[in-house]
Amino acid sequence: MKPTSPHSRSPFLTDQQRAALSSGDSTAMQAADDAALAEAILASLAQQENESVQYNAVTEDELVEQAKRESLAYQGNNAASASPTISDYEQQMINTEKLHSWLDANGFDVVKNGGGGHNDCLLISLMQHATGDYETEHAADVDDCRSFLNRLDPTIQRDDALPAMHHAIGKLVDKINNEKNCGLRIAIVAPGIDGEPTYHYYGKGTRFAMIFDQSGHFDAVVPRRTRRA
């Protein structure tokens, strides 16, 4: 469920919108409108959390299990031929791209990170939101996060890819909030079965921030800082 429509603008202008309107700069006005819409969506996530089911995203494990079931059914039927169909993985990629387009259209930038060479993309995204610094990958803080996760769950090894839903991630967000005093409520946004955004939440703060789950790779999502080209 989308928290708000790209066409539903608040009747109240932000300071940035007022300044852009006074300047007469169309580029600045577009950037201000993008930022205002993105901030409105973030603000609506509290209501969205109360009204929606949080666990309806299609996970990679679910796709694998579905593929296994379909493969067994195919073998059991001993079909000589079958109509070509798009794979579940390919469909998930299409839905992920739909969600990326929705974020873009609603005034958000996806801040790419390289995972630090150790599948740390989720941790990097968390630390970027916690510090407000989206230009670096926060290696020292990320190493500390990894150590904390390993102490909570020794099965989480140094280079393991991290899941979007795990009790240890919630405890990590609580730790970051306490240490950084950042008051985060993290909404991990992933595509549902038709590309609609679905959310899973961590942290007891009131400052909502989104992280984009792209079938296992995670990037921080922020209101657009520069106008879309």
> What is the pLDDT, as a whole number, of residue 1?
44
pLDDT tens, position by position, 120-152: 999 999 999 999 999 999 999 999 999 999 999
> What is the pLDDT, as a whole number, of residue 37?
66
d(CA 190, CA 188): 7
The structural domains of the chain, ordered by start, are: 15-60+89-223 (3.90.70)
Mean pLDDT of 190-219: 91
d(CA 211, CA 115): 14
pTM over 0.85: no
Return the higher-pLDDT residue of 210 and 83. Answer: 210
Contact criterion met (CB below 8 Å) for 189 and 177: no
Contact criterion met (CB below 8 Å) for 128 and 121: no
pLDDT(184) > 70: yes
Q: Please give the DSSP secondary-structure letter assigned to residue 105.
A: H
> What is the pLDDT, as a whole number, of residue 75?
52
Return the higher-pLDDT residue of 116 and 2. Answer: 116
pLDDT, averaged across the chain: 79
Mean pLDDT of 70-82: 52
> What is the pLDDT, as a whole number, of residue 229?
40
Contact criterion met (CB below 8 Å) for 176 and 126: yes
Mean pLDDT of 167-196: 94
pLDDT(9) > 50: no
Query: Residue 227: how many CB atoms within 10 A of its CB?
Result: 15
pLDDT(101) > 50: yes
Mean pLDDT of 40-46: 76
pLDDT(210) > 70: yes
Contact criterion met (CB below 8 Å) for 118 and 159: yes
Mean pLDDT of 198-203: 93
Dihedral of CA 23/26/27/32: which sign?
positive
Return the higher-pLDDT residue of 10 and 88. Answer: 88
**Residue 144 three-state SS:** helix
> What is the pLDDT, as a whole number, of residue 40?
75
> What is the pLDDT, as a whole number, of residue 128?
97
